[in-house]
Amino acid sequence: MTQYNSLQSTMFLSMLIGISLLSGCSKALESQPLPAQAQTSEPLTIAQPLASLDIANPSTFTRQKQPIYISYYDLGLDSDIKADNASVPLMVKLNNQLIDSQAVDNDADGQLDGLLVLVDLAPSASVKLDIWSPETSEPSATRSSDIAPVTLTQADLSVKKGGQWVPHTKPPRHNPKQQYQEYIGGQFEHVTEVTPPAYYTDHSNWIRYEGPGLESDKVAYRFYLDWRNGFDIFGKRTSEPVLQQVGLDGYDSYHQAADWGMDILKVGNSLGAGGFGLLAGDKQQTVERVSFVDSWTAKITANGALQSSIAIDYNGWQNSINKQDLQANISIQGGSRLAKVNLKLTQDLPNMAAGIVKHPDTEFIQGNQDITGDAYTYIASFGQQSLDGSQLGMALFYRKNDLMTITEDANNYLVKLKPKGQSGQQSINYYFAAAWQVESGINDRDDFVRYLDQEAEKLTLTPRVRFKTQLSIDQQQAPLTAESALNWSVKLADAELARKTLGYHYAGWDVNRQRLPKFEYDIVGLLPFAYDELAKATGNNKYTEVLPTVTASFVTDDGDIRRYKLANFNIDSIAPGRNLIRLYQQTQDPKYRQAATLLRQQLEQQPRTSAGAFWHKQKYPHQLWLDGVYMGMPFLTEYALAFESGEQQQHSLQEVVNEFLLTQQQLKDPATGLYYHAWDEQKQQDWADKNTGLSAHFWARGMGWLAMAIVDVLPQLPDDPDNKLSAQREQLIAMVNDIADSLSKVQDPHTGTWWQILDKPNATANYRESSASAMFTYFYAKAINQGYLSDKYRPIALKAYQGLLAEFTLSHADGSTSMTNQCYVAGLGFGRNGSYKYYMSERISSNDPKGTGPYILAGIEISRLLQAATAVK
């Protein structure tokens, strides 16, 4: 596993339900040791934990057995896990009591990559975890229980041995050309992997309960390893593991009620409780099951106390579009009814469909679809559909942005999902769940919907984690100097160069959005700009390669811009224009000037509010957003100074100043001095106040875009008393001081950083957000360096930067660095209603350009600030 993939798959401490969890207390860990402490063969000699985590529940309901995953890479341990590592288990302590933990292969690549624990979180409450190696553990630590760890999950697979194959007495009609057989005699034996012979089929009496099984303390599932490819349910009456005893005496027994439970679902010709298939063609009404394969292979990939998982390989799957190998990785974790399905394709497909059986006299339920793209929602069915006559609910959970459509066929309720990833490496993720009335106590539709909504929230709102490792603390011990500040920018820039920065070119891959790169404000604009600034600050020419490698790749020989459309009037697309101007100045190649002129033409034609402020996008009519000021105004300033003159230049610069003043007029809150995210002049959007047109909250990065924009534009405006803009330039300097004063009042006094919603530090689910903190650090430092702010703000700038290091900078064993706790994206409209809960529901990520760019720039400006102070001394 690469270090980047480790971060991408976890997106820094992703709190995942139903993913691979591994445990220091399970038999899985005993056979698969954890990695040794990185960069040393000696045990730690000080009584300090490897890492400490403060974990907060972002929900107002209790989360029991909430999974918390921490990658070895983030812990500062070796990420190259090998089976022969000579190492010792890690230990996890909650309130100085040992709790069960499990090592996991989170991305199913065959290598252990992290640690996962299950913790109980009270509503809106937090807990602290410490991760230790045995050498550094305090001797007073005790287990939370005197009894052995409880086994909460199990993977099970058994086949008969000692009997013989004979012709099948009731062969299926699936493939009349195949001579199917069944197995008589023999005894079941547990195995970890099986590939059935070609003559095996359903009811061949060879695989116990017809395929592999997974269970938690709540529910058990079995997966047909034959042409049906259905998912079935065992309802459990006990929290103890039961699969090892199910079906030992044949198929009939588990269809009858027993002390442990029973088979509760009639799958028939459906996908069952969460199976998958293909909907080929727009008019296809029936899902194609994964039936025609060269062979199936089922393997137990984890069998631990906290998590278990299986993999099923569908080798040579022939479908109506292509022939390929498909792998399904399915996992379940303790305390949950959800099982996660990860499908990996070797050939591209237009979709994969997941389904639940459609029984008569049951109710179809659809979760909220008016949500942000990264949020989870569901489809479900509920009714008296258990084989014992009880109420049974089944559900599929998926991210909204993975959904193509909700549909059904004669046998299934279906979600049609879009495969993600590069060609030949596509994948799909979803969850399925079943809640049996006997086990769950869910007696009616309202109970079931309440359960579904909470599970969707748990998948969407990840626990808020503050994470510090001893390795990171050790590397931040040195005093902050001009040299060290610049070096932190270099470390993150170098790490991102190695991970993905140069891959954002036109023919590359946008790993954050999982698509081909577009002419985006962050990957093509902000980030290459930050590298170019770093090249100037360090004199290192390797950073000068980012502009020609990434931004330049989108420009054709005749000056057109690939994957850009002027008619969209998307002001975000203007931001990379600053780099086009630099490329022209560096090369004098006219194609870059022509491309920049195309963006200038967009601004000339850009729709505006009645007072003249630029609309954010054509599809966001009459709307002024804070983001747009940064996207458009630095470019317009630089274009005017580079390519315009006289009245034309003066007019363009006047437009720049007006945009800031109109933003201040419309978006500033007079009571706090903070700025709302956006304003709808028509007062029609669902997020807009019907009286003011304003959105409801002060989103930190929205104000960060404004703060960076104003300090980037001001140094370029004419500082000449005779210039018509002189008075208005002073207005912008006053605006800088006003912003600085307002931000200082909401700076977190403990860390020097800022919160996702600036004025609600104590609200449930709010968190200290790194990209905005980097932007504000850059703003303060540059404004002081340029003389717009007095030295009284210097302590605020330095405290902010020290917070950026202490709270969000993670050091790795290979010497690289990561930036954590970034709000991946936020916007308004199209399912984003601007509520507080909306801003909390957007994904929290690591090493995204919207954060790494400002981090690099902040280090450069702090370095200059400290260098200037040294020079004065």
Indicate which residues carry an active-site annotation. 627
Q: Please state, as a whole number, how many other Cβ atoms lie within 10 Å of the Cβ of residue 590.
A: 12
Q: Both tokens of residue 202?
A: 């359903």
Q: Cβ distance 597 to 644 under 8 Å?
A: no
Q: Which amino acid does the sequence have at 206?
A: W
Burial class (CB in 10 A: 0-12, 13-18, 19+), 254: buried
First to last CA, the chain: 49
Classify the phi-psi angles of 588: left when phi > 0, otherwise alpha if psi is within -120 to 50, otherwise beta.
Answer: left
- Could you tell me which of 305, 273, 304 has the C-alpha nearest to residue 430? 273
395, 356 Cβ separation under 8 angstroms = yes
Specify whether the CB–CB gap between 478 and 484 falls below 8 A.
yes
Task: With beta carbons less than 8 A apart as the criterion, state whether 459 and 431 touch.
Answer: yes
Cα distances (Å, whole numbers) of residue 772 to 388, 681, 815: 55, 26, 25
In terms of C-beta density within 10 A (0-12 exposed, 13-18 middle, 19 or more buried), how is residue 866 classed? Answer: buried
Residue 763 burial class via C-beta count within 10 angstroms: exposed 0-12, middle 13-18, buried 19 and up: middle
Task: Find the angle CA(726)-CA(729)-CA(733) to the nearest 5 degrees.
Answer: 140
Neighbours of 567 (CB within 10 A): 8
CA neighbor of 512 nearest in space, from 137, 33, 849, 219: 849
φ/ψ of residue 58, rounded to 5: -85, 5
DSSP H stretches of helix in 468-576: 470-475, 482-499, 527-538, 546-549
Tokens of 431: 């969850």
Per-residue DSSP letters for 745-785?
HHS-TTTS-EESBTT-TTSTT--EEHHHHHHHHHHHHHHHH
